[in-house]
Amino acid sequence: MVPGHEVVGIIEKCGAKVSTFKPGDRVGVAWIFSSCGKCEFCKAGLENLCFEFKGTGRDENGGYAEFMRVPAESACFIPDVFTDEEAAPLMCAGAIGYRSFHLTGLENGQPLGLMGFGASGHLVLKMVRELMHDTEVLVFTRTIEEQEFAISLGAKWAGGIEDNPPFLLNAIIDTTPVWKTMVQSLLYLKPGGRLIINAIRIEHLDQSALASIDYEKHLWMEKEIKSVANITHNDVKAFLEFAGKVSLKSAVQKYPFERANEAIWDLKHKHVQGGKVLVW
């Protein structure tokens, strides 16, 4: 089992009404644990926006145990091409990247920017390369190593956060936790362009960054800002299915379960490429 907010394991027992799975099946459970199933959002397939949304490992017990009980609709089959460790980050960074990418509304040939280049950014870049052959991807990230890595994965251009890109973009996905990149991204959008905020702003409100927003430079010409909240059942299933078809994998770093604290420390203090997975 791979514990945390995304869990991979083998089904031990099924409830009487469950027909989709059987004991012995390998399944994953992503961040979406449950929602009310009755509200306007749930009915429209937008369980991520439900007021009763429950997150795995936050609102309900996650994978820090030998067994966990989950609603059948929250479990999904893991394609055979993936090991447990490979599948776990796909359900997190991958599924959220998938949702962000769809929210851009981008059409093939329209250029996309990625602000920040962590696990989600890698997967979005690989996904765009598979799905939109004429779309060029520009990556903005701090270190030269990450910029070189982006180019090696097929980015058209890579530079720093304040480096002017060679052309303006139809959409930018910001996967960083800071405010400055949001403001900076608005400068790089075409008229009518859309900024997708993929990661929650965990940094304290940066008054100076927001105070620097100039209506004419940053917002004029119908530029849009849209946040991404949680994920839907469909995001997880559709992304896993797509990833399975093209064997899309991300860099993974494994830690034995008893070294969970070390994994969290590394996540906070070290810049390591790819996702972190605890192995039971």
The footprint of Zn ion (CB under 5 A) covers 35-36, 39, 42, 50
Q: CB 117 → Zn ion: shortest distance, Å?
A: 34
> Least distance to Zn ion from the beta carbon of 73, Å?
13
Choice between 229 and 251, CB closer to Zn ion: 229
Residue 43 or 245 having the CB closest to Zn ion: 43
Q: Give the residue closest to Zn ion by C-beta.
A: 50
Give the residue with the Cβ less far from Zn ion, 39 or 187: 39
CB of 216 to Zn ion, least distance (A): 40
Tell the residue number behind the tokens 């369980």, with chain if given.
47
- Closest to Zn ion by CB, 42 vs 183, is 42
Nearer to Zn ion, 49 or 161 (CB): 49
Least distance in angstroms from the C-beta of 40 to Zn ion = 8
Q: Could you tell me how far CA 227 lies from the centroid of its own chain?
A: 12
CB of 201 to Zn ion, least distance (A): 25
Please report how many Cα atoms fall inside a 13 Å half-sphere around the Cα of residue 167, on the Cβ side: 10
